[in-house]
Structure 1
Amino acid sequence: MTSRNRLSGPLDDVAADAGHHGHPDRVGFFTDTSVCIGCKACEVACKEWNAVPEDGLDLLGMSFDNTGMLGADSWRHVAFVEQARPLGPGAGPEDLGMPSFALPGDGTGAETRTDFRWLMASDVCKHCTHAGCLDVCPTGALFRTEFGTVVVQQDICNGCGYCVSGCPYGVIDRRQHDGRAQKCTLCYDRLGDGMEPACAKACPTESIQFGELDELRERADARLAQLHGLGVAEARLYGRDPNDGVGGDGAFFLLLDEPEVYGLPPDPVVPTRDAPAMWRRAGAAAAAFALAGVGAFVASTIGARR
């Protein structure tokens, strides 16, 4: 493995491992989907600041989701998941920290609730601790910043596409007109000027929270405990665990259902995790093959002399 992407050691010192000495604390995103209202302000702010091209207004059937997934022209994707599931008594939006709204009654004085709910979540590059895209990039176009994030250098990318298959989340993509890889940079240029990323600044409900990763983890743990205390047993953290298949994410989420419901892999594993062991086995096999070949050659030579 290259020194750009260590697969062992202190998880949050990835910047030092990449050669950044005296670097700032690792930063990232904590996205609390329980307060996302699907306004798409993050999508608009991301496109505006980073000059990401407009990618069409296909409403994908009956959904308000007009992007469908992350891609070269969608660095932020707000998912809309409609479920045939009543909120039920005591599980209204106000209980999740969301804005409440009045619904017409049935004349009995009881509140009428709808028979479905929307799950909304703003997805983004995870800026993994163990980033497969870094491992497979042959040109060094992808690099780890001093903030612990992962960025693509457009002037170095040759469009080979190895990083696309190296991402366990299917985040990174190549832009059609030039084939170069594109994804969220966590607004690297803004971080250098002491500013927060455009998407987090634009989020009106603070669903997208930016900050030092350790502090965000504490906030996430407290929010999860709060929701569990309110009876929202299905609430869970995704990408928070440093012992998962990518060593924990630099952008992690609080979800209100299984990850698959949001289009996220349940158990992401960086594809290059076993690469060192594979190379060792391949080397041992090659050495054994070469030794066998030498042995056969020596044996045939001795036989010919006889």
Structure 2
Amino acid sequence: MAGPNSFYGPLDPAPDAGYVDAPPRMGFFTDTSVCIGCKACEVACKEWNLVPDDGFNLLGTSYDNTGGLTANSWRHVAFIEQPAAGSGHGTDTPGAFAGMPTGPSASAHTAVVAAGTSQDTGTDPGVPAAPDALAAAATITAPGAQFLGMPGADLPGRTMDAPRSDFRWLMMSNVCKHCTHAGCLDVCPTGALFRTEFGTVVVQEDICNGCGYCIPACPYGVIDQRKDDGRAWKCTLCYDRIGDGLTPACAKACPTESIQYGELDELRSRAAHRLEKLHEQGVAEARLYGHDPNDGVGGDGAFFLLLDEPEVYGLPPDPVVTTRDLPDMWKRAGVAALAMAATIVVSFAGRRR
């Protein structure tokens, strides 16, 4: 019989951990194609979970002030600036950023405001919302009609005649993956890490002894220790909120719904539909990451839609649960021990003769 976190292919982790009549598995789907890098998720996570401040020392080369997931940054908004073809700063791939995701067309009222907004200052001179003005604006095509943060896109009313296309920002809100097969659970000696009835993985800070075994056991490098107390900390997927039927703080605060929370099976279906739409728009590089229950960690409880290779976002291309081979290793160690014991017995028996 499979143990509480054994590696025997796809499984539903909560029932496997012993929960009877467990609720549906909950998780995150993060659509990076609509992330605008506002960091509202970082702030909401810190405020709700009382996570200490972090990231005031700017890295100097990016708007990314936190740099990665740490014990004091359970959500990390990455900013990846990529030079475009012909910019003299990198790739020579023709049309490198062509066909990026498009968003909904601007409403008539938004088009009026955009048409009357200074491109130099971004100030709104005051546009009357008269019915005739709105009707006239219905014929205006919003420049670019792209999501904020996408290549060549800008705030409404500030898009220039020749949208900037020499670079693009890839933005991604990273978080603990709440793996189906979690190596951190396997190695924790105190039971501080546990699987919840929602299939998520939580650290109980009052039980953690600071041994740090879980840190190298995580294939994503998510878990970290605080320097002042040595204990391990990471995202709990707002276990206290979802238990009361509430949305996790980060997803609640996300203004573009880049972070979506819900039943994992429904999120996977939604993500597949979104990926199909992007491919229809010509965004061939769009891909899902962490959604496959047959991958090296049995699928993630928090998965992503990416617009480039996982390595670009600092994610391992083929993550594997670090404790996957432990059962076979113990078996081999047991066989070796028995063989050694048998050799010793035979050796002593031979001497007595």
Normalised-by-shorter TM-score class: over 0.9
Q: Which deviates more from structure 2 when the two are superposed, residues 57-66 or residues 256-265? A: 57-66
Report the equivalent of 1:157.
208
The question of 1:60 aligning with 2:59 is answered yes
Report the equivalent of 2:307.
256
Does the CA contact (< 8 Å) of 1:58 and 1:66 recur in 2? yes
Q: Which amino acid aligns with 2:159?
A: L
Measured in 2, the distance between the counterparts of 1:273 and 1:224 equals 30
Report the equivalent of 1:233.
284
Structure 1 alignment gaps of length 5 or more:
106-110
Report the equivalent of 1:81.
80
Counterpart mapping for 1:196-275 below 5 A: 196-275=247-326
Does the CA contact (< 8 Å) of 1:131 and 1:270 recur in 2? yes
> How many Å apart are 1:19 and its aligned residue?
1.6
Does the CA contact (< 8 Å) of 2:32 and 2:305 recur in 1? yes
Q: Which has the larger radius of gyration?
A: 2
Does the CA contact (< 8 Å) of 2:33 and 2:101 recur in 1? no
Deviation per CA, 1:54-94: give whole Å up to 9, x if none: 01312212200011110100100000000002665553754
Report the equivalent of 1:17.
16
Q: Which amino acid aligns with 2:33?
A: S
> Which one of the candidate residues 140, 144, 149 is aligned to 2:191?
140
Measured in 1, the distance between the counterparts of 2:97 and 2:339 equals 66
Report the equivalent of 1:3.
3
Q: Which amino acid aligns with 1:23?
A: A
Deviation per CA, 1:227-257: give whole Å up to 9, x if none: 0110000000000111110000000000000
Report the equivalent of 2:100.
91
> How many Å apart are 1:3 and its aligned residue?
3.2
> Which one of the candidate residues 159, 165, 171 is aligned to 2:222?
171
Does the CA contact (< 8 Å) of 1:55 and 1:67 recur in 2? yes
Q: Which deviates more from structure 2 when the two are superposed, residues 190-199 or residues 86-95? A: 86-95
Measured in 2, the distance between the counterparts of 1:46 and 1:88 equals 32
Q: Which amino acid aligns with 1:167?
A: C
Q: Which amino acid aligns with 1:91?
A: M
Report the equivalent of 2:136.
none
Q: Which amino acid aligns with 1:155?
A: D
Name the CA shift for 1:9/1:84 in 2 (closer, same or farther; >3 Å).
Answer: closer
Measured in 2, the distance between the counterparts of 1:232 and 1:159 equals 45
Deviation per CA, 1:6-52: give whole Å up to 9, x if none: 322652x2111212111110000000000000000000000000000
What TM-score comes out, normalization by structure 2 length?
Answer: 0.81
Q: Which amino acid aligns with 2:223?
A: I
The question of 1:293 aligning with 2:302 is answered no
Name the CA shift for 1:245/1:92 in 2 (closer, same or farther; >3 Å).
Answer: closer
Measured in 2, the distance between the counterparts of 1:71 and 1:293 equals 50
Deviation per CA, 1:171-209: give whole Å up to 9, x if none: 001111111110000000001111010000000000000
Does the CA contact (< 8 Å) of 1:151 and 1:184 recur in 2? yes
Q: Which amino acid aligns with 2:147?
A: M
Count of residue pairs brought into register by the alignment: 296
Name the CA shift for 1:238/1:10 in 2 (closer, same or farther; >3 Å).
Answer: closer
> Which one of the candidate residues 131, 137, 160 is aligned to 1:104?
160
Q: Which amino acid aligns with 2:196?
A: T
Measured in 1, the distance between the counterparts of 2:84 and 2:255 equals 26
Measured in 2, the distance between the counterparts of 1:122 and 1:169 equals 14
Deviation per CA, 1:150-184: give whole Å up to 9, x if none: 00011111100000011000000111111111000
Name the CA shift for 1:132/1:254 in 2 (closer, same or farther; >3 Å).
Answer: same
Measured in 1, the distance between the counterparts of 2:204 and 2:147 equals 38
SS at match of 1:25: coil
